[in-house]
Amino acid sequence: MQSNKPRLPHLKDLTTDNITDNVNTVNALNHDNARFRYVLERLVTHLHDFSRETRLSTKEWMVGLQFLTTAGQVGINGPSEFHLLSSILGLSLLVDAMDHPKPATATEGTLLGPFHTDDAEHLQNGALISQDTAGEPLLVVCAIKDTSGKPISGVDVDIWETDSTGHYDVQYANRSGPDGRCVMTSDAEGKFWFKGIVPVSYPIPHDGPVGQLLKSLGRHPWRPAHMHFTFEKAGWDKLVTALFMRGDQYETSDVVFGVKDSLIVNLEEITDKSVDPETGDSLSSRYGVSSGTKLLRYDFVLVSEEQSLSLRNDQSREALERLGRKVRVVDGLPVPDVDSSRE
Amino acid sequence: MQSNKPRLPHLKDLTTDNITDNVNTVNALNHDNARFRYVLERLVTHLHDFSRETRLSTKEWMVGLQFLTTAGQVGINGPSEFHLLSSILGLSLLVDAMDHPKPATATEGTLLGPFHTDDAEHLQNGALISQDTAGEPLLVVCAIKDTSGKPISGVDVDIWETDSTGHYDVQYANRSGPDGRCVMTSDAEGKFWFKGIVPVSYPIPHDGPVGQLLKSLGRHPWRPAHMHFTFEKAGWDKLVTALFMRGDQYETSDVVFGVKDSLIVNLEEITDKSVDPETGDSLSSRYGVSSGTKLLRYDFVLVSEEQSLSLRNDQSREALERLGRKVRVVDGLPVPDVDSSRE
């Protein structure tokens, strides 16, 4: 009978010292995807090392399982608690930084957050993206360039922000359609502009287990005021970023660790005398906004897919070398070279 | 304004290299429980190291979040998917082994599993614990001793097994009360005995994300036939264990890694001539069972709480020393000594 299962290891009498190798062996037996095998092997190893290093007790382990179980049962209509957990533990920012590394000359990225949707309307330049009349009017005028300063046209820009109470449209149970969000395309000069409202700071949802964790740690749940952007065009590395309003009281304590100095902006105020620096046109007549409207200007700099891939590969190789493993690239992602990963 | 928050670090411009230290710093700022701080610090560090070593992509990270979210939404009436996940990744066994280390002279432990309940009836010696008439009758006769062979009376023994189809009572939506389980107390001679059915092998629930993971890994979901036991008495280390029927086809491939050689038993068959080796009484008349009934005999050996605690503390100290951290014990669990844990 045993001869029918020639590849099975002998999974008996496992101890704190040999269980990790055995679990990794059985997980790798019948799976052909080297990348999946590698990710799972590191996951199991870190999970076991975590419990070995903490000498995790049965009681603590049960508290952890209960935390995950409760987390799974809330947030079904809002962002997943697991997404929030990933954000407040810094994992979301870390993953973005690795997946989209930027050279110093490009606009920095930051985490996507859980409030992006795929149903935003495609609007024309100049459109109003927020129907919230209680918000403070804001004109946003941006350009998209490459690292040599050349404009990039035809970039799809996804934009989303909260309403004036600090809630995204998806947080309302009676949401009838997208609001406070849109997709635009940069024009021939790489420009896009729209009207929205001045972003406000807001707490992430904190009525579930993640909120309880923050509370028990004495951490506040607030994000500083910001507006989200993503940029996509074939041949260019996708940029996931956000702009932060300078002076926010949470600027240096963002609950999800997303603020970068280069992404903090000063808002201007449009007066009758404000002119476009390039054309000399009056801003209020050029963009159809009244005097007193706040203005956000920003130039985004994209890097090519090729340049980003090369940077990602270099960083991957370096990270795996630090682990003492020679690297192979499978589907664009690193896995250890089989010959050198077995000790 | 900043002076109101003197203890906050400056959480801005975080990178793949400095985010872990910063997250750990902010998590530790306002929390007085050294053990919780330590567990969280190791959790965040391993989570980040895992993603750094795999160069986890945004796409993979989203697959992971979706796995957890889906896992949270199933199994509400059965065992939590997180409990199953912990078991199939070997974490459950590992935690039990660390929390209840045994000297070589004691009965080995194994994982609790997700099917223990707190509502089992307290039955007298000799009782029938399974109402399943389709099962093969089994007489179980056990003794409980200390490591010197002295009987231990008054031990509360929790026992549970599946029915003949491989399902625990809690897996039936129409469960009206406990079946296939009971609590007994060892008598003055440290003995307990009961009638049940011969355990059968069974697959763990595998219709959710954990089942899909097993399938994608080419792993089967089966556990070899076994019967669960826990032993509790003040002054003695709680023993969580199970006995496995020799010859089961899954004996060396238990999906949750729980089999130990010392816990595998041979079943005997009672005949008219079978006698109690100590008293010489006929077994069938002594226990009121008919000829042909299967018999399981086992002597369990418990260790004192003091001995187990001492072993656990030694192993903890050793584990933390391997990490280069001097250990302090708080509420019976290790934390690094503050002075030596900061580099």
Contact A73 B68 (CB under 8 A): no
Reading the block at residue A339, the tokens are 């010959």
Distance CA B115, CA A181 (A): 47
- At residue B78 the predicted structure's pLDDT band, cuts being 50, 70 and 90, is low
Tell me how crowded residue B331 is: count the other CB atoms within 10 A of its CB. Answer: 9
Q: Would you say the C-alpha torsion A165, A170, A173, A176 has a positive or negative sign?
A: positive
Is the dihedral angle over the CA atoms B242, B246, B250, B252 positive or is it negative?
positive
pLDDT digits (tens, 9 = 90+) for B11-45: 888 988 899 999 999 999 887 888 999 999 999 99
Q: How does DSSP assign A180-230, residue by residue?
A: SEEEEE--TTSEEEEEEE----EEPP-SSHHHHHHHHTT---EE-SEEEEE
Which chain B positions have a beta carbon within 8 Å of A230's beta carbon?
none
CB contact under 8 Å between A31 and B98, yes or no, is no
CB atoms within 10 A of CB A53: 22
Interchain contact, B15 vs A252, CB within 8 Å: no
Averaged over B73-91, what is the pLDDT? 84
Q: Which helix (H) or strand (E) holds A121?
A: none
**Cβ–Cβ gap B95/A51 under 8 Å:** yes
Task: For residue range B195-215, list pLDDT tens digits in order.
Answer: 999 999 999 999 999 999 999
In B, which residues are within 8 Å of A252 by CB distance?
8, 10-12
Residue A180: its pLDDT value, please?
95
Give me chain A's average pLDDT, please.
Answer: 90
Are the Cβ atoms of A16 and B94 closer than 8 angstroms? yes
Q: Which pLDDT band, with edges at 50, 70 and 90, does A334 fall under?
A: confident
User: Phi/psi at A144 (nearest 5 deg)?
Assistant: -120, 130
Has residue A99 got a pLDDT over 60?
yes
Q: Do A249 and B1 touch (CB under 8 A)?
A: yes
Residue with tokens 């607030």: A222
pLDDT at B107 over 90: yes
> Residue A67: closest CA among chain B residues belongs to which residue?
B82
Residue B123 distance to chain A (closest CA, Å)? 27
Going by pLDDT thresholds of 50, 70 and 90, the confidence category of residue B61 is very high
How would residue B75 be classed by pLDDT, with cut points 50, 70 and 90? Answer: low
pLDDT the model gives residue A29: 87
Q: At what angle do helices B81-88 and B209-216 cross, to 10 degrees?
A: 30
List CB contacts (< 8 A) between A22 and chain B: 90, 257
Chain B's closest residue to A10, CA to CA, is B252
Which comes out higher in pLDDT, residue A289 or B9? Answer: A289
User: Max Cα separation, chain A?
Assistant: 89
Per-domain boundaries in chain B: 2-80+308-341, 81-303
Q: What is the mean pLDDT of residues A105-131?
A: 94
The percent of residues in chain A predicted with pLDDT above 70, rounded, is 94
Backbone angles phi, psi at B60, to 5 degrees: -65, -40
Report whether pLDDT(A7) > 60: no
Q: How far is A186 from chain B (nearest CA, A)?
A: 25
Per-residue pLDDT at B295 exceeds 90:
yes
Residue A232 CA, distance from chain mean position: 15
Task: Please state the separation of Cα B239 from the chain's center in Å.
Answer: 10
Where are the strands (E) in B9-59, listed by range?
A: none
Q: Which residue of A has its CA nearest to B52?
A: A319
pLDDT band at B169 (very low <50, low <70, confident <90, very high): very high
* Cβ distance of A72 and B82 shorter than 8 Å: yes
Q: How far is B175 from chain A (nearest CA, A)?
A: 22
Q: Which has the closest alpha carbon to B55: B21, B16, B23?
A: B16
Q: Which has the closest alpha carbon to B103: B319, B265, B301, B298?
A: B301
Query: What is the topology classification, in CATH, of domain B81-303?
Result: Protocatechuate 3,4-Dioxygenase, subunit A (2.60.130)
Contact criterion met (CB < 8 Å) for B10 and A252:
yes
Residues of B in contact with A27 (CB under 8 A): 217, 219
Tell me how far apart the alpha carbons of residues A40 and B247 are, in angstroms, rounded to a whole number. 31
Alpha-carbon distance B244 to nearest alpha carbon in chain A (angstroms): 11
Which residue in chain A has the smallest CA separation from B260?
Answer: A13
The lowest-confidence range among A134-148, A273-287, B102-116, B230-244 is A273-287
Q: Which of A4-13, A36-45, B86-95, B135-144 has the lowest mean pLDDT?
A: A4-13
Does A98 sit within 8 Å of B55, measured CB to CB?
yes
Please choose, from the candidates B273, B269, B251, the residue with its C-alpha nearest in 3D space to the C-alpha of residue B260: B251
8 Å CB contact of B27 and A71 = no
* Confidence (pLDDT) at B331: 72
Please answer yes or no on whether B82 and A96 come within 8 Å at the CB atom.
no
Which strand ranges, in their side-by-side order, compose the sheet holding B226-232?
A: B181-185, B156-160, B226-232, B239-245, B264-265
Of all residues in chain B, the one with the smallest CA distance to A48 is: B91
pLDDT above 80 (res A76): no
What is the arithmetic mean of pLDDT over A52-68?
A: 92
A50 and B42 in contact by Cβ < 8 A? yes
* Whether residue A163 has pLDDT greater than 80: yes
Q: Considering only A232-236, B106-110, B331-335, which range has the smallest mean pLDDT?
A: B331-335
- Structure tokens given for A92: 């979301």
CA A181/CA A6 separation, integer angstroms: 57
For residue A319, give the H/E element and its range: helix A305-322
Q: Where is pLDDT greater, at A153 or A97? A: A153
Contact B295, B141 (CB under 8 A): yes
Q: Which of A13, A40, A91 sits opposite B48 (nearest CB)?
A: A91
Instruction: Indicate if the pLDDT at residue A4 is higher than 50.
Output: no
For residues A191-205, give the mean pLDDT: 96
What pLDDT, in 10s, does the model give residues B240-264? 999 999 999 999 999 999 999 999 9
Give the list of residues 6+ apart from residue A234 with CB closer than 8 angstroms, or none: none
For residue A318, pLDDT beyond 80: yes
Pick from A12, A29, A43: which is nearest to B50 by CB? A43
Prediction ipTM score:
0.90
Helix (H/G/I), strand (E/B), else coil: B314: helix
Torsion of CA B332, B335, B336, B342, to 10 degrees: -150
CB contact under 8 A, A54 and B38: yes
Whose tokens are 């952007």? That residue is A229
Report CA-CA distances (Å) from A78 to A117, A139, B34, B81, B131: 12, 29, 33, 21, 45
Q: Are B207 and B214 in contact (CB under 8 A)?
A: no
Alpha-carbon gap, residue B147 to A314, rounded angstroms:
58
DSSP H or E stretch at residue B6: none
The model's confidence at residue B340, banded by pLDDT at 50, 70 and 90, is very low
pLDDT (0 to 100) of residue B280: 86
Percent of chain A with pLDDT over 90: 68
> Residue A331: closest CA among chain B residues belongs to which residue?
B57
B95 interaction partners in chain A (CB closer than 8 Å): 51, 56-58, 61
User: Nearest Cα to B56, choosing from A319, A256, A79?
Assistant: A319
- Report which of residues A297 and B77 the model is more confident about: A297
